[in-house]
Copies of this chain bind each other. A is one copy, B any other.
Amino acid sequence: MTSTQPLTVVEPVSKSRLRLWLRLLKASRHIEAKLRERLRLEFATTLPRFDVMSALYRVGPGLKMSELSGVLKVSNGNVTGIVDRLVEDGYALREQVPGDKRAFRAILTSRGRAEFERQAAAHERWVDELLGDVEPERAVRLSDLLAEVVKHVEDSEEKDN
Contacts and interface: CB of A to CB of B under 8 A. Distances in A.
Most chain B C-beta atoms within 10 Å of own C-beta, residue among A14, A141, A153 = A153
B138 A153 contact: no
Contacts of A13: 128, 136, 139
Overall SS of chain A's interface: helix
A11 B8 CA distance: 42
Interface of A: 8, 13-14, 16-21, 23-34, 73, 124-125, 127-134, 136, 138-143, 145-150, 152-157
10 contacts: A17-B128, A17-B139, A20-B142, A21-B31, A21-B127, A24-B146, A27-B153, A130-B156, A131-B152, A132-B152
